[in-house]
Copies of this chain bind each other. A is one copy, B any other.
Amino acid sequence: MKYSYISHLYCPKCAATYDHNQVNQLCECGSPLLVDYNLKELSQHLSKEDIINRTSDLWRYHELLPVQKKENVITLGEGMTPLLQMQRIGRDMDIPNLLMKDEGIIPTGSFKARGAAVGVSKAKELGVEDLAMPTNGNAGAAWGLYSTRAGIRSTIVMPEDAPKITRNEVAISGANLYIINGLISDAGKVVSEAVKERNLFDASTLKEPYRIEGKKTMGLEIAEQLNWKMPDVILYPTGGGVGIIGIYKALTELKELGWMDEDLPRLVAVQAEDCAPIVKAWQERKEESEFWKNSSTVAFGINVPKAIGDFLVLDALYKTDGCAIAIDDEAILHEQEKIASLEGAFVCPEGAATFVAARRLRKSGWIKEHEVVVALNTGMGIKYPDTVSVNVPTIEIGDKI
């Protein structure tokens, strides 16, 4: 019984294959690489019942993850986040079977911990000693802290207006942090040059093949938490899109394993109105998106004007009869408050966007009344506390309330 059933890396664009025992970045053709597993062999050795007694973190699925030796696992206890019933807000939008996968309940308070845990563990296994990446905040916080735990040096470049709290997280991790007076794309250029000159490992989104395997575990968990039944719809806030690609990959692998035999859920890519390249491409039935100029949104994590994995996101939408939808900032902030005041959950703006999307898709009839709908909240609301406007009475000693 092997710890991992990884077989090789392959390019989803040109079909080239690569050895997973070597350090790899992009395919020679420029596409991200994906991980393949010996699923037939695994299906003879593992059943879904074997999973039940395992630790309540994402490493419970280690056969479907790329790390080959248990001692290389770097963990802060990430995964098996709650799948919560959202009855009140579900009633409010006429979706009685509304669930939220709450990725705030995870180290560093955002789903980026999954990609970092698996990506850093595999980097360590491959002997990486030095990595670099640009970040809009949460990914840098996660990769900085997990790299430190692995004993890997990290260099992280972050735009000046990235959330303050994530800056503190990177700084305290001991990473080499640089703040750039520019955008994430400018940070990316600085990183690319440093990578070339100093032979660093490039941990940018999808420039290494393993982050997506960490994100994949969200799909595995949703399946297990629903007793290995597919939901009807999963809504995902889409910036780089690694999570939606990962969820699609996870559910496809579970079907290949023979653990599930229903149709895949319809996947929904939720974007912000002023940064909606995937939505535009989907509306035009294109295979790739175009760069979105002057993008802006309060949902910082989905401010990605052109995703390197856009073609994989769009493919997942087409293959599952899913859709893409753009939400305005005002509706996002309004929904964030509504979720807190109806359900007691303080979600991040990106997470709130998926609820607005569910509400609108139900209204248009795209979501049917009794469908099982999973909204993905990618992080804690407290990571960007300034999105909440607080207007509270101040009293003096001796006052009554």
Task: List the one stretch of A226-234, A294-302, A318-326, A386-394 in contact with chain B.
Answer: A386-394
Closest approach, in angstroms, between the C-beta of A149 and any C-beta of chain B? 3
CB pair B344 A146 closer than 8 Å: yes
A145 CA to B342 CA, complexed, in Å: 9
Partner of A82, one of B77, B380, B393: B77
Known: A53-B52, A77-B105. A337 touches B172 (CB 8 A): yes
**A193 at the B interface (CB under 8 A):** yes
Q: Which of A167-197 contact B (CB under 8 A)?
A: 167-169, 171-174, 176-182, 186, 190, 193-194, 197
Closest approach, in angstroms, between the C-beta of A84 and any C-beta of chain B? 6
Partner of A76, one of B82, B171, B385, B388: B82
- List of B residues within 8 angstroms of A336 by Cβ: 172
CB pair B345 A400 closer than 8 Å: no
A399 CA to B181 CA, complexed, in Å: 10
CB pair B77 A380 closer than 8 Å: no
The listed residue with most B CB atoms (<10 A of its CB), out of A53, A74, A106, A383, is A383
CB pair B165 A397 closer than 8 Å: no
CB pair A193 B400 closer than 8 Å: yes
The listed residue with most B CB atoms (<10 A of its CB), out of A77, A197, A341, is A77
Closest approach, in angstroms, between the C-beta of A148 and any C-beta of chain B? 4
- List of B residues within 8 angstroms of A165 by Cβ: 382, 385
**A157 at the B interface (CB under 8 A):** yes
* CB 8 Å contact bits of A220-247 with B (1 = contact, 0 = none): 0000000000000000000000000000
Select from chain B the residue with minimum beta-carbon distance to A173.
B340
CB pair A107 B105 closer than 8 Å: yes
- List of B residues within 8 angstroms of A102 by Cβ: 76-77, 107
Select from chain B the residue with minimum beta-carbon distance to A382.
B165
- List of B residues within 8 angstroms of A80 by Cβ: 56, 80
Closest approach, in angstroms, between the C-beta of A125 and any C-beta of chain B? 17
Closest approach, in angstroms, between the C-beta of A311 and any C-beta of chain B? 29
CB pair B390 A345 closer than 8 Å: no
- List of B residues within 8 angstroms of A392 by Cβ: 167, 171, 177-179
Closest approach, in angstroms, between the C-beta of A277 and any C-beta of chain B? 23
* CB 8 Å contact bits of A71-114 with B (1 = contact, 0 = none): 00011110011111000000000000000001011111100000
**A274 at the B interface (CB under 8 A):** no
A385 CA to B401 CA, complexed, in Å: 31
CB pair B57 A82 closer than 8 Å: yes
Closest approach, in angstroms, between the C-beta of A262 and any C-beta of chain B? 23
Instruction: Other than A105-B107, A167-B392, A178-B395, give 5 A-B pairs with Cβ distance below 8 A.
Output: A57-B82, A148-B342, A168-B385, A171-B392, A173-B341
List residues of A whose CB falls within 8 A of some B CB: 52-53, 56-57, 74-77, 80-84, 102, 104-109, 144-150, 155, 157, 160, 164-165, 167-169, 171-174, 176-182, 186, 190, 193-194, 197, 336-337, 340-346, 380-383, 385, 388, 390-397, 399-401
